[in-house]
Homo-oligomer: A and B are copies of this chain.
Amino acid sequence: MNTDLPTSDRKAFYEQIRELNMIPLWESLSTLVPHQPNGPCVPALWKWRDVLPYIEQAGTLITAEEAVRRVLVLENPALPGYASVTQSLYAGLQLILPGEVAPAHRHVQSALRFIVHGRGAYTAVDGERTTMMPGDFIITPSWTWHDHGNDGIDGRSEPVVWLDGLDIPMIRFFDAGFEEKSTAMSQRVTRPEGNALARYGHNLLPVDYQPSSPTSPIFSYPYDRTREVLERLYRDGDVDAWHGVKLRYVNPATGGWPMPTLATFMQYLPAGFSGKPFRSTDGAVYSVVEGTGRAVIDGQSFEFGPKDHFVVPSWKTFTLHANDDAVLFSFSDRPVQTALNILREEKLDA
């Protein structure tokens, strides 16, 4: 900055106003109001083969009672100490061993569970249990009692790992978090498994039903159903040059997002797909369900395979490529950016 004011005078002034908790805007305007998104986040990949041994170790070293929620948090390399995978999103990998139970609590934070590995755990929301199968997308709505357990399925029991996606950084940012623990270990089951999906998930709603919150009344979106749709649309030729076949999960009572703070997506990239470059202000976390391929993010290449996770920061140009048929789950803060009227996205040509 070219100025007639001697640096020393300016400094003295800055120190004086500092006493009053004031700072000069002109020294930081271009940082505060950037020309385009310039946040600190970097792309990153967590390979399943690297992560799995530590998840297993966490299972042996630390008991469920001790850990309550035995989760390894995926932290953006550029945000050490923030427990955030982007500035607004939290992601972690949670392990639950056969026979374990995570006691009931509720919190303002909205959570998604995306099942990565193993079968037979359950989560209970609002009096209904759902058994977790790989690829299922499950919701824990804001301020709703929930607990987890791992009872096994078909007489077999195995460790189960899921991706936790939460809006923890948002709630922290807006400083609006509340949490409550239940006195009961698990909540009472009041409805048979599958009731919510039957009630709300087939383009029909109970005649007197009025939504009591913006969160989807369906809390489990099973993978087999989603997978079928992706393939069907692929066969019908509904393939986008940027996204392949990309769908967003929907709250059937509103047509909106499943949760007010988190958008979730599932996409299918046919073998050999090589997507055009895309960027968006909502950075996203990806969980690979099937297949292998490559994400090129801001010039960096990340090879991915099943159960790998990666993060694409805001406004970084990226492309997706599939070696064999690939299925990717992802989530972002898109509903909030839409509510704030600040979402921008761009499909680029090359």
Contact = CB atoms under 8 A, between A and B. Distances in A.
Contacts of A21: 44, 46, 74-77
A309 to B, nearest CB: 11
Interface in A32-72: 32-39, 41, 44, 46, 50-51, 54, 57-58, 61-63, 66-72
A317 interface: no
Given A204-B226, A232-B194, A248-B205, A341 B26 contact: no
Nearest to A249: B204
Contact of A236 (B76, B171, B198): B198
Contacts of A153: none
B72 A207 contact: no
Contacts of A328: none
Contacts of A246: 206-207
B247 A205 contact: yes
Nearest to A207: B246
A327 interface: no
Contact of A178 (B35, B71, B251): B35
A177 B207 contact: no
Interface stretch (A144-152, A259-267, A294-302, A318-326): A259-267
A118 interface: no
B16 A54 contact: yes
Given A20-B51, A207-B243, A336 B344 contact: no
Interface stretch (A5-13, A155-163, A269-277, A285-293): A5-13
A176 B107 contact: no
A83 B28 contact: yes
Contact of A250 (B4, B86, B198, B205): B205
B74 A22 contact: yes
B341 A198 contact: no
A233 interface: yes
Interface in A323-350: 333, 336-337, 339-344
Work out how many copies of this chain go into the complex.
4
Nearest to A176: B281
B62 A195 contact: no
Given A202-B225, A252-B252, 9 more contacts: A29-B69, A87-B175, A174-B282, A174-B314, A195-B233, A207-B243, A207-B248, A252-B255, A254-B255
Interface of A: 1-5, 9-10, 13, 16-17, 20-26, 28-29, 32-39, 41, 44, 46, 50-51, 54, 57-58, 61-63, 66-77, 83, 86-88, 90, 92-93, 107-109, 142, 167-180, 191-192, 194-195, 198-199, 201-208, 211, 213-216, 218, 221, 225-226, 228-229, 232-233, 236, 238, 240, 243, 246-255, 260-261, 265-267, 281-283, 313-315, 333, 336-337, 339-344
